[in-house]
Amino acid sequence: MKTSALTTGATARAWIGLGANLGARDAALRQAVRAIAALPGTQVLHVSSLYRSAPVDAGGPDYLNAVAEIATPLDAHALLAALQAIEQGAGRERPYRNAPRTLDLDILLYGNQCIATPQLTVPHPRMHERAFVLLPLAELAPEQVSPAALQAVSGQTIDLHHGPAWLNAT
Ligand code: A4P
Ligand code: MG
């Protein structure tokens, strides 16, 4: 019987939150999706629309946010390290907590794993407080986002900046 790589246990499904509020934001997010797709053995399965919102618990320009669903053989910590290298390549600086950034890549979900190490907490601890995470995630994985969770963030102002075709823009 033919077995899909996704069912062997060697490949995990993960959802990555992408954000930027400095520089050429859409271009940085587009480049980040390409860089994620170039990680060893990794496929980008789906990418959400692009959303624009004011910084939550932070200052600076408006953010653009999206979510990507990937299949990867990297374990969660290796994936985090790879995402941080992509952030660095995009000129990410960390002068203070929640500072404006050229690129932020967070692991929202990694399969159904719960992870709590000094480097990594999964599910992302603040994802359920944030419309800029839940709206794009609900596009890709509605089963991961309850109506109650969406209702809880419904007071947050967020605009659809571009449909999923944003990824193909030049
Ligand atoms: N870390 C632990 N768990 C994770 C995870 N699941 N994914 C650690 C990624 N990293 C994780 O991250 C700080 C440390 O968190 C890392 O060293 C990693 O080991 P960071 O990327 O340096 O900083 P951060 O992203 O600012 O940290 P944090 O605490 O995740 O910030 P938040 O809570 O994600 O807030 N408003 C709008 N509209 N849009 C945004 O995208 N983002 C933030 C950042 C605030 N307000 C925003 C947005
Ligand atoms: Mg981050």
Question: For 104-156, what is each residue's pLDDT tens digit?
Answer: 999 999 999 999 999 999 999 999 999 999 999 999 999 999 999 999 999 99
pTM exceeds 0.75: yes
Mean pLDDT score of the chain: 93
SS3 52: strand
**Strand pairing report for 104-110 and 12-20:** antiparallel
DSSP class of residue 148?
H
Tokens of 118: 């000094």
74 pLDDT band (50/70/90 cuts)? very high
CA-proximal residue: ligand 1, atom 14 (nearest)? 119
Residue 39 to residue 32: CA distance in whole angstroms: 11
Residues in the chain: 170
Tokens of 116: 């709590």
Q: What share of the chain is helix, strand, coil (3-state, %, to 5)?
A: 35, 25, 40
Percent of the chain with pLDDT over 70: 94
Mean pLDDT of 14-30: 97
Domains of the chain plus CATH, in order, are: 7-164 (3.30.70.560)
Q: Among 6-15, 51-60, 121-130, 147-156, name the one with the lowest average pLDDT.
A: 6-15
Mean pLDDT of 28-34: 98
**Are the C-beta atoms of residues 79 and 107 closer than 8 Å to each other?**
yes
Residue 77 to residue 25: CA distance in whole angstroms: 26
Tell which atom from ligand 1 comes closest to the C-alpha of 84: 21
Residue 124 makes CB contacts below 8 A (sequence gap 6+) with 17, 106, 107, 108, 109, 133
DSSP class of residue 24?
S
Q: Is 159 a pocket residue for ligand 1 (Cβ < 6 Å)?
A: no
CA 106 to ligand 1 centroid distance, Å: 6
Beta bridge partners of 168: none
The DSSP-derived string for 36-57 is HHTSTT-EEEEE--EEEEPPSS
